[in-house]
Chains A and B, each alone.
Chain A
Amino acid sequence: MTTTEVGRSLPRLEARQKVTGHGNYTHNIKLPGMVHAKVFRSTVPHGRILSIDTSDAIALPGVTAVITGQDILKIIPEPYYGPAFHDQPILALDKVRYVGEPVAVVLAEDPRVAAEAAELIFADYEELPAVYDETEAMTSKAIVHDELKPAGTFPDLKHLIGRKDTNIALDFHLKRGDADAAFASAEHVYEHSFQTQQTMHTPFEPLISLAEPGDGRVTIYSASQSPSFARSEVARLLGWPENRVQVKVGHLGGGFGAKLYIKLEALVAALALLVRRPVRLSLSMEEQFYTITKHASTFHIKSAVDKDGRITARKCEVIWNGGAYADIGPRVTQKSGFTATGPYDIESADIDSYALYTNRPPAGALRGFGIPQLVWAYESHTDLIARDLGIDPVEFRRRNILRDGRPHVTGTIMKDAAIDAVLETLAKRMDWDAPFDHGSGTLKRGRGIAIGFKACVSPTTSVASVSVSADGSATLYLSTVDMGQGSDTAMSQIVAEVLAIRTEDVRVINPDTDITPYDMATLGSRSTFHMGNAVRKAAEHAREQLLEMAEKVGLPKKNTLNVPEIFRHAYGMQAGTVIGVGTYIPTYASPDKDGLSDNVTPFWMIGGTGVEVEVDTETGQIKLLKMVNAADMGNPLNPRIVETQLSGAAIMQLGFTVSEEMILDGGQVTNASLADYKIPGIRDIPPHIENHIVEAYTHDGPFGAKGVGESATFGVSPAVAEAIHDACGVRLTKLPMTAEVLYKALHGEQE
């Protein structure tokens, strides 16, 4: 199909706003009469609240109110929220479960007064034993939640209701074939364990929400990736119909999964309703570390390999450190867990994946929904097997790769998944078959390639509407949140393509739940596919109506619409509106009791990375010389934006690979600042970066497109580990791989 607007690399529609300082961020909002909120947080990792003394804070001049969990109960009797479990209180009630948990809030007209007053609050706790490590949490006597509280709306979680004395929020199991038999008769058996660390998204626009009370309603302005969910969850908490809660979202200054579901929205709504004034709560960079993080994990992986170097069976045990509240962790455990065997054609598999509660800040989704943690382990494992067998690692992958038409371990037949093409692109661009200079003296060089894949969270719904004005311009209403990924632009390109107008003539109405239709959330690279399909349908619906109008007024039935002409003929002047509506939900089959399903995802995301590194064996310094990213992008809607998504994702993952780590001491994060939590800077990026779009038409995607935001994160960590190994013979199995860690490994010092 030849397209003119789809596939065009035009700049983001909001580009001009962003370079002139007029970006439409929630931070800019000021409401008349607004008060500022400052959160008072727990100083103990696990404890029963004995008392909260707010008297000094209240007495400080300029303080409007001090609110505790008990006050919240006055308007929300069951103040527990969460997307899968209703386990997180708006403010702590009987117990605190991590250092940094919100316990009370001060409101004041001057944000500095609020901050000063928050320091005057004193809480007394009876400390309880705490658990931080995910493996220890499996058997620990320290129990984070007295009772599991899964949201009753999900049939697959019902069996967990009321479960006691466990930190396992959810366990997911997949069983295919007879793995035990395969292991018993295997030529080779390999077994390894890998770990990842807890990290934070650090979106540069820190989390922020405002709430404005109205007459029997509340309006929430929030930097949220999921306005529809925020609305229904706040409505549920208040016991109100959804149409009395309005959630409005501007452009986000980064999200990466940090701004999903409910973060500050329920709190600001409750505060505003309690004090009957607009409330603004803006977190500091430090406070973000106490709000949402990425799962630390431990992955035990074991493979049976035959004499030809084919993997015949694999066992995976993945333990996810979910922190004190479940957030979306249980879904990560399931929906990513079933890909733990990797993009390989394996006959028999056992997967056990566990979501654990611990006394750490909660973990949720971060660019990849758990996939980077899995790929880190299975690709490191793959390289170690190839090394032992003496097979080239790319060749070993080729022998085992999962090709279209073959069943994934869930039983779903692979389709439109260019795994082999991604691998071959990387091999070619890395010049894999050419001789490689491993350096000399203390400067050693090495290289590695790794690939990964991801299923899309399913089933989820998107709805969009398009209104076409009589002058031929169009307005697109959707609840997809543009946090920098360029969705406003890509979605407008779809509308423009269908209506045969220019993308620049489409205006996007940013999420406002009073106006824009439902969307599950902007997460997991689902928007291009789901919302893209909804937008396409909405535009097609409008187009059909326009064609009918044309026919009625006797205009020639042409493929190219002349919209203004149609309206003029129909209404005798420039008047009228045509509204198209589109809804999309893909087909899906829930996994059975063995975790099997013949339709487990609407599409697969595939990405991989190749790197060359230089290691200074004296100091352990690791320098990336080259990074090649490749991903199956379907048919890219806007190749330029897609490419920046690739390098952005890969560089972010590079931070999680070589430097970023939240350090905890007695449950207290000790480096909750960009000073000590080192994210990649402009000097940390490899001097040579290539991004390759592997074009592979996605049959059910809008114009063949699929999601792109996370794919380039997958391969980075294991590729770097293999390159280090290739350079200096040391295998690191724990992230991050800092110079210090490598130095110790090289010089025989135990950590």
Chain B
Amino acid sequence: MTKRSITFYLNGRPVEAYVSPKDTLVDLLRNLDHFGARESCGQGLCGCCTVLVNGTSVSGCLELAELIEGKNLDTIEGLDAGGELSVVQQAFIDAGAFQCGFCTSGFILMVEQLLDENDSPTPDEARDYLSGNLCRCAAYPEILDAVQLAADKRKSLQKEPA
């Protein structure tokens, strides 16, 4: 299979990579040693492979790598830029919102996106928003706790600008 070169922005940095026509975003990221988005169901059902393309969440297992040409690809690895965890990442730790952690990248990226859109989601809104992600360890109650924690923390940070 012939590979071709594409360029795009990975977590804000320009990258050049060689991709085959059938490579998915997960394949592409693996080749670049980014393992945070991972394939589980391979069918767009679990969200373990969640990444952001131009700021919108997609299932990396279904998106063709070639189509990322010229676009922004953001992954879990970009969240703690500068070595500091994001509010949502910290909330996941504080709430104990994972066990094995295999689904965690996807959930965190979705919660980031949720809170960007809605700074005070009700538990029902959070459930609806996150219903495209699955967790076999069933850390769901703790994930909902983390949403609450992160929402509160984000709001309190907004009130007292640094």
B-contacting residues of A (Cβ < 8 Å)? 11-12, 14-23, 25, 27-28, 110, 112-113, 201-206, 251-256, 284-285, 483-486, 640-641, 644-645, 647-648, 651-652, 673-675, 679-683, 685, 689
Contacts and interface: CB of A to CB of B under 8 A. Distances in A.
Interface string B101-114: 11111001000000
B137 interface: yes
B100 A251 contact: yes
A696 to B, nearest CB: 23
Contact of A254 (B22, B36, B102, B143): B102
Given A22-B77, A647-B142, 17 more contacts: A14-B101, A17-B101, A19-B76, A21-B36, A21-B77, A21-B105, A23-B104, A204-B48, A204-B103, A204-B135, A483-B100, A485-B99, A641-B96, A673-B41, A682-B135, A682-B140, A685-B138
Interface of B: 1, 20, 22, 34-38, 40-43, 45-46, 48, 75-77, 79-80, 85, 89-90, 92-94, 96, 98-105, 108, 127-128, 130-131, 133-144
Contacts of B94: 11
Contact of A20 (B48, B89, B139): B89
A106 B142 CA distance: 42
B46 to A, nearest CB: 6
Q: Is the interface of A mostly helix, strand, loop or mixed?
A: loop
B99 A648 contact: yes
A205 B38 contact: yes
Nearest to B109: A21
Contact of A19 (B89, B134, B135, B144): B89
A674 B80 contact: no
B38 A644 contact: no
B140 A685 contact: yes
A644 B99 contact: yes
Contact of A203 (B89, B96, B136): B136
Contact of B40 (A18, A205, A685): A205
28 contacts: A11-B93, A11-B96, A19-B76, A19-B85, A19-B90, A19-B92, A22-B36, A23-B36, A110-B1, A112-B20, A202-B136, A204-B48, A204-B135, A204-B136, A205-B38, A251-B100, A253-B101, A254-B102, A254-B137, A255-B100, A285-B40, A483-B100, A640-B96, A648-B99, A651-B138, A674-B134, A679-B136, A685-B140
B76 A21 contact: yes
A61 B34 CA distance: 29
A660 to B, nearest CB: 11
Contacts of B22: 112
Contacts of A14: 101
A651 B140 contact: yes
Given A681-B134, A683-B131, A204 B102 contact: yes
A372 B81 CA distance: 45
B93 A15 contact: yes
Contact of A204 (B77, B80, B100, B108): B100
A645 B138 CA distance: 9
B108 A19 contact: yes
Nearest to A252: B100
B131 A682 contact: yes
Contacts of B141: 647, 685, 689
Nearest to A687: B123
Q: Is the interface of B mostly helix, strand, loop or mixed?
A: loop
B98 A484 contact: yes
B127 to A, nearest CB: 5
Contacts of A680: 138, 140
A682 B40 contact: no
B156 to A, nearest CB: 20
A17 B77 CA distance: 10
B143 A682 contact: yes
Given A28-B35, A204-B103, A251-B101, A20 B96 contact: no
A19 B143 CA distance: 12
Contacts of B100: 203-205, 251-255, 483-484
A674 B105 CA distance: 19
Nearest to B126: A682
A204 B142 contact: no
A661 to B, nearest CB: 16
Nearest to A111: B27
Contacts of B139: 644, 648
A682 B76 contact: no
A66 B34 CA distance: 31
A648 B138 contact: yes
Contacts of B134: 204, 674, 679, 681-682
A682 B42 CA distance: 19
Given A651-B140, A683-B127, A19 B93 contact: yes
A252 B131 CA distance: 24
Contacts of A23: 35-36, 101-102, 104
Nearest to B92: A19
A25 B104 CA distance: 13
A648 B137 contact: yes
Interface centre among B89, B98, B138 (most CB of A within 10 A): B138
A140 B127 CA distance: 48
A193 B54 CA distance: 57
Nearest to B102: A253
Contacts of A110: 1, 20
B138 A647 contact: yes
A674 B45 contact: yes
Contacts of B131: 681-683
A751 to B, nearest CB: 28
A648 B139 CA distance: 6
Contact of B76 (A20, A251, A253, A285): A20
Contacts of A685: 138, 140-141
A689 B104 CA distance: 21
A206 B104 contact: no
B23 to A, nearest CB: 9
A255 B103 CA distance: 14
Contacts of A203: 100, 102, 136
Contacts of A644: 96, 99, 139, 142
The 8 closest A-B pairs by CB, nearest first: A21-B36, A484-B100, A253-B102, A484-B99, A18-B101, A21-B76, A651-B138, A19-B89
Contacts of B79: 20
Contacts of A683: 127-128, 131
Contacts of B142: 644, 647
Nearest to A14: B101
B32 to A, nearest CB: 12
A658 to B, nearest CB: 14
A644 B98 CA distance: 9
A205 B102 contact: yes
B40 A204 contact: yes
B104 A19 contact: yes
Contact of B101 (A112, A484, A647, A679): A484
Nearest to B75: A21
Contacts of A673: 41, 43, 45
Nearest to B79: A20
A484 B76 contact: no
Interface centre among A25, A253, A640, A641 (most CB of B within 10 A): A253
A673 B41 CA distance: 7
Contacts of B43: 285, 673-675
A14 B131 CA distance: 26
A119 to B, nearest CB: 15
A689 B138 CA distance: 12
